[in-house]
């Protein structure tokens, strides 16, 4: 196994006996997943996906990505939530958060349709300029407001720039295999389509075409990513607390029971930032319901030690922390010597920045534990495809287990509908007239 979970820094807070006490609940949760006997069992397609994926479609994804890389300088990826975060997370982690700015052979990738900001959309249109571009519009339902509205904008731009025939060859739709407005449009216009399987929910869909097409466009080896996930799938079938998914689910549930209601995910490399955003959706949407659930938060370290560090060290003691520790950097950078040594840092001269970062990690870990914040550490060997595939599968599996142990359905998201109803009513969608009057009266109060 490439990843390893280290729980020694929760020992002051949770005993081994307390963790062992979760084995019956975890055995039950694992059986619900394996046998499809738990709530939400129509959304378990992710469980065996690394093995049971559609090879023909996978080859079409690789071919489409090769075409986009050859005929486009920019790719516009339109989607929100589970139809957005995974692709961005993988690209930033494996390539760079500065991916678009760095010299490369692959197209710039712009993520839109994840907000309703006119300024943000217009900035992307400016950045594309007169460069050749393609669009990947991603929506399982095909009716989500944000991507649907923004797709209208880029579709119009595309048709004006290229004419209908070429525009149709530059638009790729990732959606339901048969239903929804986007599927209907894609069929009518003849866009190449990719399928979001019925039994895979948005937040578990990064290893479907949802994530894989943009990821492949960025030049990432999606076969190696799937192989890492498949390795994890096989290794993490074993029962018991030696299985990191089981151990993580047990530890965080026990810490939650002891009053640690917030889990902070931390990493000492800024490339992880959107992996943390992806994780927040995965765990927040899966567990935050029925008036329970750990609140997932994240920090970028060491940057946030200079902002949130004070609170983590010394604020309300309702925090647990998980650090994703990356085993090596991809490059080296020695600290220069300075003859004047005005900053007093010549004791670091010649030492690699990775080593400095390591001591920041270790020092912070101990300080936070001393301050009452239990720390779990997930060791990841490197920023490479196979390790990340394994980490993604680990998080998905642990989330399913953890949700069932917590006693919720980890595969629905009833709470996300409330804002949509109000937004439609306020925007005057036909059928929402009564609701609109009631909301306007409240706003005018």
Interface with ligand PA5 by CB under 6 A: which residues?
Answer: 80-83, 139-141, 144, 147, 201-203, 285, 413
Nearer to ligand PA5, 243 or 281 (CB): 281
Q: Which two tokens stand for residue 302?
A: 């060491």
Nearest to 111 by CA among 94, 132, 130, 90: 90
Beta carbon of residue 274, minimum distance to ligand PA5 (angstroms, whole number): 15
Are the CB atoms for 348 and 356 separated by under 8 Å? yes
Whose Cβ is closer to ligand PA5: residue 50's or residue 113's?
113
Rounded distance, CA 141 to CA 286, Å? 19
Measure the CA angle with vertex 377, ends 265 and 88; round to 5°.
40
Helices (H), 192-243: 209-217, 222-235
The residues assigned a catalytic role are 285, 306, 420
For residue 273, what are its two tokens?
Answer: 């930032």
Closer residue to ligand PA5, CB minimum distance, 23 or 181: 181
User: Least distance (Å) from ligand PA5 to the CB of residue 183?
Assistant: 11
Of the pair 120, 181, the CB lying nearest ligand PA5 is at: 181
Question: Which residue do the tokens 């996978």 mark?
Answer: 58
What's the min distance (Å) between Cβ of 219 and ligand PA5? 25
**Cβ atoms < 10 Å from Cβ of 259:** 12
Helices (H), 95-144: 118-128
The string of DSSP codes covering 233-302 is: HHHTTS-STTSHHHHHHHHHHHHHHTT--EEEEEESSGGGHHHHHHHHHHHHHHH-BTTB-PEEEEEETT
Closest distance between ligand PA5 and the C-beta of residue 150, in Å?
11
DSSP reduced 3-state for 36 = coil
Rg (CA), the chain: 23
What stretches of 110-208 show up as alpha helix (H) in DSSP? 118-128, 145-170, 181-189
Closest distance of CB 318 from ligand PA5, Å: 26
Of 322, 221, 313, the closest CA to residue 272 belongs to 322
Minimum distance between the CB of residue 273 and ligand PA5, rounded to whole angstroms?
18
């Amino acid at each position: 196994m490439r990843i390893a979970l280290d729980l020694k820094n929760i020992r002051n807070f949770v005993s081994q006996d307390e963790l062992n006490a979760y084995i019956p609940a975890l055995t039950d949760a694992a059986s619900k997943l394996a046998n499809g006997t738990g709530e939400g069992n129509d959304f378990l397609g992710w469980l065996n996906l690394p093995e049971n994926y559609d090879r023909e479609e996978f080859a079409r994804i690789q071919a489409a990505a090769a075409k986009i890389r050859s005929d486009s300088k920019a790719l516009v990826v339109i989607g929100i939530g589970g139809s957005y975060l995974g692709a961005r997370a993988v690209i930033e982690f494996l390539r760079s958060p500065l991916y678009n700015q760095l010299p490369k052979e692959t197209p710039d990738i712009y993520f839109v349709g994840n907000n309703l900001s006119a300024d943000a959309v217009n900035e992307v249109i400016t950045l594309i300029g007169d460069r050749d571009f393609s669009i990947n519009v991603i929506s399982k339902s095909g009716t989500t407001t944000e991507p649907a509205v923004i797709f209208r904008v880029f579709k119009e731009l595309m048709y004006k720039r290229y004419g209908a025939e070429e525009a149709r060859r530059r638009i790729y739709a990732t959606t339901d295999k048969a239903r929804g407005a986007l599927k209907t449009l894609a069929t009518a216009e003849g866009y190449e389509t990719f399928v979001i399987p019925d039994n895979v929910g948005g937040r578990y869909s990064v290893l479907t075409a949802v994530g894989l097409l943009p990821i492949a466009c960025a030049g990432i080896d999606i076969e190696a990513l799937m192989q890492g996930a498949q390795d994890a799938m096989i290794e993490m079938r074993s029962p018991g607390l030696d299985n990191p998914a089981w151990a993580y689910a047990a530890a965080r549930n026990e810490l939650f029971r002891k009053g640690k209601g917030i889990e902070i995910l931390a990493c000492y490399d800024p490339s992880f930032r959107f992996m943390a955003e992806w994780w927040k959706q995965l765990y927040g949407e899966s567990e935050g319901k029925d008036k329970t659930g750990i609140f997932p938060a994240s920090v970028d370290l060491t940057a946030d030690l200079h902002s949130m560090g004070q609170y983590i060290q010394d604020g309300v003691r309702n925090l647990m922390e998980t650090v994703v520790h990356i085993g090596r950097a991809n490059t080296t950078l020695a600290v220069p010597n300075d003859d004047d040594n005005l900053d007093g840092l010549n004791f670091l001269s010649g030492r690699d920045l990775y080593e400095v970062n390591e001591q920041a990690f270790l020092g912070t870990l101990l300080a936070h534990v001393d301050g009452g914040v239990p720390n779990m550490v997930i060791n990841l060997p490197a920023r490479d495809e196979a390790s990340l595939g394994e980490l993604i599968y680990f998080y998905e599996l642990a989330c399913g287990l953890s949700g069932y142990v917590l006693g919720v359905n980890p595969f629905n998201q009833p709470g996300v509908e409330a804002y949509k109803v109000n937004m439609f009513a306020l925007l005057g969608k036909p059928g929402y007239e009564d609701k609109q009057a009631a909301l306007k009266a409240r706003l005018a109060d």
